[in-house]
Structure 1
Amino acid sequence: MNILFRFGESRNLIFAFPHRNDNVQFFYPQYFNASFVEGYAKKSIRNFDIMCHHMRFHRIEVEKVMPKDTFYFTILRNPVSLMESSFMYFKGSHIFIKAESLEEFIKNPYKLYNKTSKYSHLGRNFMTFDLGFDHNGPEPTKYFKVIHKVLKTMFDLVLITEYFDESLVLLKEALCWSYDDVLSFPLNSREENNQEILSVETQEGIKIWNQLDWQLYVYFNKTFWKKVEKFGQERMQQEVEELRRRRARKSEICIQDRVNANDIKEKYLKPFQPRLAKIMGYNLKSGLGKSERSLCQSLVTPELQYSRYLLRRQRAITFKIKWFHGLSNLI
């Protein structure tokens, strides 16, 4: 999101924002609907350039908002690490509250899992749900064949979290962007000591329990490396090294230190903290020039604060345009 926010802001592009922007979600976990977008229902904004806020994907509704030549991409994550992360983020919710640990949940999923809950997707096949399919779907193998065929036609590119830099290089290539456009620092990540080390048994149990997600990940992981092969292995290695070199250089310029939320000096840069997950953030170096500080700050601003800033900015621009047209009509 940070990459897309910065790209759009620097070029004065129009974002499709949720019309209730309290948590940067399009009324999640409902299926996305075009009416959820600010300015769409009233036709006050006719052309949107970027849609990147959290949603349960519904292509037909998205197409009502976005142009015909829109580039669609998404990102998948290993279901094992995703499940561990989900458990830490949502342990306090009724989805996991009966389980003392993720290991206990995976040993007794049918006893501890409530499939009728509005938020049951947090506990099973999270990605399948977000992509618009039934996360409790029947006969995983047959149902998966339907899912992957549909997704192949819906998305121009599927990125892989575990190969994030390689993913950024492919995205840069597909969109004809520059290194600076895809440059990023890790955001919304937890302290290392806040991450649970899972046994092999638990990991295998997670794959079985999240079978749709696992098959999805395995399939698109293979297609990802086919794209890398086509791009060129040696060329990929060189571009990843260049991207990392630029990131390290930018980090030396911008970052004083990476710290837990309580030690962040500027409140504006403090990330949202779930109940149990401890999210890290950054302190910027002092003495930065105005332009340097502006860029550095944009690189480390959490999604909630950045989204709200961009929404206020877009509303102000829209208001000025309306006011100008109104005045010209009077003249």
Structure 2
Amino acid sequence: MGRRKEGKVVRKKDGGGGTTTSLMLRLLMLLCVVSSMALVLQLNLTNQHNLMLRNIQGAEEPRAWAAQPAGPTCRPRRHLVFLKTHKCGSSTLQSVFLRYAAVNNLSVALPYSGVYLDGAGSGQSLRVKELKESPFAPPSGKYHLLVHHTRLNVRAMQQVTYNDSVWVTVLREPSAVFESMFHYYHLHKFFGATFDHLVWKLGAHDGVKMWLKNANSRYQGRLGRNQMSFDLGLDDLDTHMDSVMRDAIKILDDTFHLVMIAERMDESLVLLKHLLCWGDEDVVAMAHNVRKDLYRSYLSEQTVATLEHFNAADVKLYSYFKEKFDKHVEAFGRGRMEREVASLRAKRDKMWKQCGLRESRSSSSKHRQTSGKDHHVIAYQMHVNGSSRQRKYCQDLIRPTPELTQMLRWKQYARYHQRGARSTLNLSWSQTFKRKKIKRKSRKGVVLPVRRVHRSDRRPANRHRPQ
């Protein structure tokens, strides 16, 4: 009996040991599964991180801002990449670049139609092949300037620009960007709330996604929360990761020679002038695509704080580059900067008087030049009796950027029209630029087009020649 009990006891001990071993094996397997899942998650995050960084990374060497040396050794820089951010005063800067390109016969990477070089349906990726095969493209497929809207993708941009291009962009206080974007693009329908109601919702509820329509979506795949970060290549998911934001800001700092600040536009233009070795006349700019004060919303401190919380990634981005801009000004010299800004403003005031400019109050003025289709935007009137060169300069100074873009389309198409004729691209854009035919009635009642010919030129007009 003792042996049997002992045997039973032994068997019970063995059974208990087997149970313990099985439990340990199960725990070990569970630990392996958890470790594998953690590794996969880490790899996914790393791959996503690398994918985001790859879109904004591409420069082989870090870039740092440095002004061109003054004096006879200073040579104008004519290769430029301008990342045009939404509602940051970028249209004013774009006007400067387009005018310089037109005067100096430089090629500009032009959208086939509209104002974007990329497509929302293709994930805002630069259409490199289309730009190289465009009827507006130089034979080399490389453009002197790239200044139209596109989301930052350095590697793609480098395929259509020169290696020695100067890279610049502009940022603005995030709450002002969001307020301007909301009203300019009429986003009340997209968010399902007026601006004041939206701010109340953002401030009253922590679960923004539950209480606000399309809070984390983008209008037309482009516009929405943390707009500047999105324009500069960051995805919405990436902006919530502090490590990704830090790495991205460092890459952006190394990529751009100069990041301008919209609230300090005159100082930005001075730094830009010296960076590119241009003259005062080249960087004189009138405000483009700017709303009238009547249509601006007042932002209280509470509203600013609410919008900054909603656009936290843009706040980090703006704060970093605003501090960096202060360092640029310090390196340039405060006293020198004040003198340069005063000189630039004096030049702008002089051109304002010489061109006979004033803000337009009527939409029916003969000399009205608009900065956009929206009547909320500041427009100008011009009255000048100077030379044809001066009149052209004044007209281009206040000409809207879409019109400047159309002019350059015709100019570059005329220069490379033989390539354009062989292109398979649709030239439907040209139909909108043809002169409207004025019709009159003949004696027999047949409607005929009137052909106006200048007295000094009785030769038949070439209908295929771009205007």
- Answer yes or no: same fold by TM over 0.5: yes
Aligned-partner Cα distance in 2 for 1:43–1:258: 36
Q: Check if 1:271 corresponds to 2:365.
A: no
Residue aligned with 2:359, SS: strand
Letter in structure 1 aligned against 2:398: V
Find out whether 1:213 has 2:307 as its counterpart: no
Query: Residue 312 and residue 41 in structure 1: after superposition, are their counterparts in 2 closer, same or farther (change >3 A)?
Result: closer
Give the Å deviation of 1:72.
0.6
Q: Is the Cα–Cα contact under 8 Å of residues 256 and 283 in structure 1 kept in the other structure? A: yes
Amino acid across the alignment from 1:25: Y
Which residue pairs with 1:253 in the alignment? 354
Which of 96-105 and 66-75 deviates more?
Answer: 96-105
Q: Distance in 2 between matches of 1:79 and 1:72?
A: 22
The equivalent of 2:200 in structure 1 is: 104
Amino acid at match of 1:103: V
In 2, Cα distance between equivalents of 1:220 and 1:210: 16
Aligned-pair CA distance for 1:141: 3.0
2:232 aligned to 110, 121, 131, which one? 131
Name the counterpart of 2:295: 194
The answer to whether the 8 A contact 1:187-1:280 is kept is yes
Partner residue of 1:327? none
Cα pair distance change 1:250/1:205, threshold 3 Å: same
The AA in structure 2 aligned to 1:307 is T
Residue 328 (structure 2) pairs with residue 227 (structure 1):
yes
CA offset digits 1:225-259 (Å, max 9, x no partner)? 10110111100000000000000010011133212
CA shift in 2, pair 1:197/1:90, >3 Å: same
Q: Of 53, 57, 69, which residue of structure 1 is paired with 2:148?
A: 53
Q: Structure 1 residue 79 and structure 2 residue 201: aligned?
A: no
Contact 1:261 1:271 (C-alpha < 8 Å) held by counterparts = no
Q: Distance in 2 between matches of 1:318 and 1:147?
A: 39
Partner of 2:159: 64
Q: Does 1:35 align with 2:129?
A: yes
State which of 238, 243, 246 in structure 1 corresponds to 2:339: 238
Out of 393, 397, 414, the position equivalent to 1:295 is 393
What is the letter of the counterpart of residue 356 of structure 2?
I
- Alpha-carbon deviations, 1:46-92, whole Å to 9, x = none? 13101101111100000111111111110001111111101101224
Q: Which moved more, 1:236-245 or 1:171-180?
A: 171-180
Pair 1:311 & 2:406 matched: no
Superposition TM-score, scaled by structure 2 size: 0.64
Distance in 2 between the 1:302 and 1:170 partners? 24
Match of 2:97 in 1: 4
Mapped contact 2:131–2:137 kept (Cα < 8 A):
no
* Residue 281 (structure 1) aligned to one of 355, 373, 379: 379
DSSP 3-state at the match of 2:118? coil
Helix, strand or coil: the match of 2:115?
coil
Aligned pairs (5 A) from 1:135-146? 135-146=236-247
CA shift, 1:31, in A, is 2.3
User: Is the 1:127–1:213 Cα contact (8 Å) retained in structure 2?
Assistant: yes
* Cα distance in structure 1, aligned partners of 2:174 and 2:222: 13
- Unpaired segments of 5 or more residues in structure 2? 1-93, 422-467
* Counterpart-to-counterpart distance in 2, 1:233 and 1:116: 43
Go from structure 1 to structure 2 and tell me whether the alpha carbon gap of 1:155 and 1:113 turns closer, same or farther (over 3 Å shift): farther
Identity of aligned residues (%): 28
- Cα distance in 2 between the residues matched to 1:42 and 1:185: 27
What is the match of residue 328 of structure 1?
none
Report deviation, 1:202. Answer: 0.9
- Name the stretch that deviates more: 300-309 or 112-121: 112-121
C-alpha deviations, 1:278-323, integer Å up to 9, x for none? 1111110143431111000000000111101111111011127999
Task: Please state whether the residue corresponding to 1:307 is helix, strand or coil.
Answer: helix
Provide the alpha-carbon RMSD of the alignment: 2.4
Q: TM-score, normalised by structure 1?
A: 0.88
What is the CA distance between 1:106 and its match in structure 2? 3.2
Q: Distance in 2 between matches of 1:152 and 1:296?
A: 36
Aligned to 1:88: 183
SS in 1 for 2:289: coil
Superimposed CA distance per residue, residues 99-136 of structure 1 (whole angstroms, 9 cap, x where no aligned partner): 45352353354322422445465221000001111134
2:258 counterpart residue number: 157
| Deviating more after overlay: 125-134 vs 313-322 | 313-322
C-alpha contact 1:261 1:281 (8 A) present in aligned 2:
no
Aligned letter for 1:280?
A: I
Opposite residue 69 of structure 1, the aligned amino acid is: D
Q: What amino acid is aligned across from residue 7 of structure 1 in structure 2? A: Y
